[in-house]
Structures are given as C-alpha cells and as structure tokens.
Amino acid sequence: MGPGVGEAGSGEAATALRQAGAAEGSITEIGGGAVGIRAGKRWEVLAWTPRGAASPKGITGASSEKAGGTLITGPADHANAVALRALIPSLRPRLLGGATSAGVGDRLGIATPGHVAAFRANPGIVPVLAQQSARELARTGRTFRDVVDAATFGALAAGWREGFGADADHLKTIADIDAGIDAGCTMFTADPVELVPHLPADAPQAAIDGAFAAVPWAALEDDPAAFMTRYPARLDLDCGPLELPPAALHAAAARFGAAVVQVAKMYRHLAAARPAGSFEFEVAVDEIEHRTTPIDHVYLATELHRLGARWESFAPRFVGDFEKGIDYVGDKAEFAADVEIHAAIARHLGDYKLSVHSGSDKFSIYDAVAKATRGRVHLKTSGTSYLVALQTIAAADPELMRRIWRVALDAYTTARASYHVSATAAGAPSPEEASPQVLAGLLDDPHTREILHVTYGAVLHGDGASGAGDPRLGDDLRAAVWTRREAYWAALEVHIGRHLRPFSGAGGGPVTKGATR
C-alpha cells in the first residue's frame, strides 16, 4: 500500500471512522490517522487524525471534533478524488498488461461496488472500473474526470485493493486523448471508424480501385509499389496457413489506409504526451459496417507497426451481429472460426489481446472467445449496467419507469443512428397504457431492451427531442437508484458475474512475443 498506508485495524483512527459511519472496507490507516467513505445522500469522504496532527494531505471538507481527534467530512468531488489517489496507491488507475481483463461502463456513476463484487466472485480478471466512450460522455454530460473519480470513490467504498484500469474509450480526436490524459486514464482506445469507407467483401472492384487511388500514401510514409511488395504470400499461423492474395491486400489498403494514418497520429500524440510504460493503447474498428477480414487485420497490424504504433489490444468487427444489450445474432460456428483466426493473427503479429466490444449479454459466444484467445482477451461492457439500474427501478417504481419509457420511445429514432441495433418501436407498449407488469417486462424483450439501451442520453441528460419535456428525469433516476443501491449492486454482481465467469482463470499473462506495447 505504500509507506504509512495500510488497511484498517482496531486502532484509534479506524474506530473513530467506524463510529462516523465509514464503510468497513473503505477504512485505510495513514500514519496516525485514517481515511474512508460513507454513504449519505451521496458519497462523503471522511478523514480522522489525532488532535494536533496534520490531516491527510489534500482532503478537504468540514472539520469537527470526534473521539479525541479531528474528523473531516468532505464531498465526493474531484479535489478529494485526487487526494485519495495520492494517499492510497491502489486507487490510482493501473495498467492491465497481458492479463485477461474486462471493462465495465458506469453511466450513472454509482455502479462500482456492484462491479467490484462481480470481479471478486470471478478472480483472475483485471477490472477496468472506469470506462466510458467519448460518445457516452457527450450524451450524459459527464467528463473522463467524472468517470475516473466515480470509480475511485466506488472502489474505496467497496474496499477494493487490487487496482483497476481506466479506459478513455472510442476516441476520435486528439482533443479526446488529451481529455483522457487529464483525467488520469491508463488505457486509450482509438476508433477511426469515420475514415473507413463502406467496402464489404462483395464491393464492386471499381469502388475498391477508387478508394485505393485515394489512399493518403504520403501521410502513410509509403507508396503503392512498396506496399505491394512488403507482404509474404502467406502467414503460417498456429491454426493453419493464411494466404495473402495481392487483390485482398489491395482491398484492405483501400478500406483502412486513411484509418491507419489517423490511428498512428493519435498514438504518436499520446506517446509524446505520456512517459513510456505509463499507458496502454487499443485499436478499435469494431463499429465499421462490415466484417474485418483476417487480411484486413494483417494489414492494420503490419502498417501500424511500421509507423511505430504499439498497442495492447485490437478490436475487430467480427462476423455476425453484436447488437446492444442482447445476445449474439448469427451463426455460432462461423463466429468461433472467425475469432479463432483473429486470435491466431494477434499471437503471430505481436501477441496482443483481442478486444470484444459491445460485449454486453453475448452469453452464447463467451466460451468460444475464451477458448480461441487462450485468455489473451479484453471484454468490454457498458450499457448493460445501466439496464440493470432500470430493472431495479422498474420493479420498485413503475411511475418513474413510465417516465423513462416515454422519453426513450420519443428519442429512439435519433439515438439509434449511431448504434448497431435492429429494434423497432412499432408495436411497443404505450407509456400511458402500460401496466406496472408490462413496464417491469421491458428489459426482458430484445426490442424494448435495445430501445432503452441506446436512449440513455435523452433520459440522463435531455439529449433528445423529449429531454426538455422531463428535465428532472436524469436526477430522479440517479436518486432512485442511489436509494436502492444495495439492491442494484447485488443485481450487478449476478449480471456482470455471468459475463465474467467464462473468462475467470482463463490466464493471459505478460506479452511474450513481438513489440506491440
């Protein structure tokens, strides 16, 4: 834990914080004093020191006399989060390394204790407790600082001492990277999807040739002739040979040439801004409109390596459909073959991890992913924890759920445009006429579940046509979940545990081949 820092014992400081209502696992002795956290109307940071001693550095709040010493009761704000991370090393976001890992988004800023419980019950997986995409932040009105701070307070409250990662996810711009750096994120996920033209495997040759001619060769520090002589005829992977036909490489460059330029630019900016070994990079192309072929993967890895980029994980667009908040849609055998060859390519070209995005609720394919990757995998979930919050509300407060459903239906047409979903609002229950039983069942139907999944922005921050019509909805939802937080955390332990169980003990370990990091 660091000099002078340790878990609470039966000493004077720990006793004083217990009497003040601090969560038992949160109490941490520092020198002659202690810090902790308690749940009131929101989290409250506590620090106690013997009379006359200096308070823990950086903790601010109201002072009072307590048990022969001074008790500080402070807000769960950014300044106190920074102070706690300085005082308690395990609260500082850490690197994931080659270990099996999973990210769990928290759109409400309340979920961390439930997430921690799920990781405790499924050991062997490094958690990313602070994970949100730039898109989610824009829709919820939050910042990367808010996300990291919420994970800090939640991890302290849960007594989590094993550390956690912080992922600035689906970054599009240099400004996004800088915001993640400012917040103390340790993982940065570059997403160049807007630069990838729609060129599926059956695209007309003329379209492929046109896109190839438009590749920014100078920015790639390359030229077409050199590119076409750089690749071998095949790769001998551990799952069998992969042929690399010139026509397929030509198409891969047409699809991803501009994206490689952007990702390399983002990596170089990050590497210049952060010391070596202080961050991890992920490349994500999972939100393109067509499958990432094995040869696309080879092209992306080869060209990014050539330009000096190093990464910990890579997220392809797998075969089949990864819709939000529901199970995998597609041929399971075809998916198993696809993830196997992508995992083999990752082992061959740098032994980096595969990252499975939109990983929420894909229970039918987790075993195939764990087997193919041999534990070299990062799973990302986000919106499913928000859905568990809605499930908690639906069972206890049908009128609040009715308000949520009204806003969600109104916002769905706009919200769905940037997400991969197939749900239709046609035939969906009317908010005005739905019974409490029908409202409670909205999370069980794939169509209504998807509608609720992607309309969180309108519900939480008025990001939609109806948001102005219910301006207090986000605050009311957060307050209702906080009031029922113990039930919420218990439900999260079960639900997120279902995601983690197939990967628990799957292995991973340090990177042993190549130079991706």
Contact in structure between 298 and 244 (CB atoms under 8 Å): yes
* Burial class, 108, CB count within 10 angstroms (exposed 0-12 / middle 13-18 / buried 19+): buried
Using alpha carbons only, how large is the chain's radius of gyration in Å?
24
451: tokens are 């509608």
Across-strand partners of 97? none
Structure tokens at 59: 């903790």
Q: Which of 169, 280, 312, 361 is catalytic?
A: 169
DSSP conformation class of 430: P
Residue 44, sorted as left (phi over 0), alpha (psi -120 to 50) or beta, turns out to be beta
Say which of 29, 146, 176, 282 is annotated catalytic: 282
Quote the tokens at residue 126: 């490094």
Residue 35 bridge partners (DSSP): 28, 47
Sign of the CA dihedral with 92 first, then 93, 97, and 99 last:
positive
Side-chain-side CA neighbours of 324 within 13 Å: the count stands at 26
Q: If we measure between CA atoms, which residue out of 291, 330, 25 comes closest to residue 160?
A: 25
Is residue 507 within 8 A of residue 375, CB to CB? The reply is yes
Amino acid at 26: S
Residues in CB range of 431: below 8 A, 6 or more apart: 402, 403, 405, 406, 409
Coil, helix or strand at residue 1: coil
Output the DSSP codes for 227-265: HHHSS-SEEEETTEEEE--HHHHHHHHHHHHHHHHHHHH
Residue 187 host element (H or E): strand 187-190
Q: Which position has the token pair 């499975």? A: 356
* 399 flagged as catalytic: no
Residue 486 annotated in active site: no
Tokens of 279: 């961050």
Rounded to whole angstroms, the Cα distance separating 419 from 334 reads 23
Report the C-alpha gap between 145 and 166 in whole angstroms: 10
Length, in residues, of the chain:
517
Report the relative pairing of strands 43-50 and 313-315 from DSSP bridges: unpaired
Instruction: Enter the tokens of residue 302.
Output: 């080869």
Residues 6 or more apart in contact with residue 279 via CB below 8 angstroms: 95, 185, 186, 187, 188, 270
The set of catalytic residues is 169, 282
